[in-house]
Amino acid sequence: MKTMKLFLAVVLMACSLGSHAADKDSYSVVYTAHGDFEFIRDAIAAAVEGQGLKINHFNKISAMLDNTAAAVGTTRKIYLNAEQIEFCSAIVSRQMMEADPHSVAMCPYIISIYNLPADPKTIYVSYRKPPVVSSPKSRAAFRAEEKLLDSIIKEGIQ
């Protein structure tokens, strides 16, 4: 019984982090937070800059979709808000590209922040999973990238 309580406590603690992926084949890592979209977006941006990294661009995904909806013959609103923060790390990117010059396709890094019309207070924060590679140097570089992205998101949604 004591072991079961400990197991349940560990499971509850893990669930409280607010991270989930759709399944083992998912192409992204998605965290959830609750609150104001702009506040969480700004907290993620501050966490990026807090790592000493420069933000290249904010991609306004929901605005683009809203502006082009009529041109593609739809009225469906997919996101209430959706933005991407685009940035890079000279250290991690160099490590990736020294291991495999073709990994340039994985740069810049992008963290997406979005909410859905049905639930405006649930904010999703996600990034693309790094590819599965056979080279030990590339695996190490992609682990470093994923660790960086996870730490930025966790800091931003606390």
Per residue in 95-152, pLDDT (tens digit) is 999 999 999 999 999 999 999 999 999 999 999 999 999 999 999 999 999 999 999 9
Query: Backbone phi, then psi, for 63, in 5-degree steps?
Result: -65, -40
Q: What's the token pair of residue 94?
A: 């160099």
Least-confidence region, from 6-15, 123-132, 149-158? 6-15
pTM of the model: 0.83
What single-letter amino acid sits at 50? G
Give the per-residue pLDDT at 25: 60
Q: How many helices (H) and strands (E) in the chain? A: 5, 6
Share of the chain above pLDDT 90, in %: 82
Tell me: pLDDT of 17 over 50: no
First to last CA, the chain: 33
Which residues make Cβ contacts (< 8 Å) with residue 105, sequence separation at least 6? none
CA distance 92 to 55: 15
For the chain, the average pLDDT equals: 87
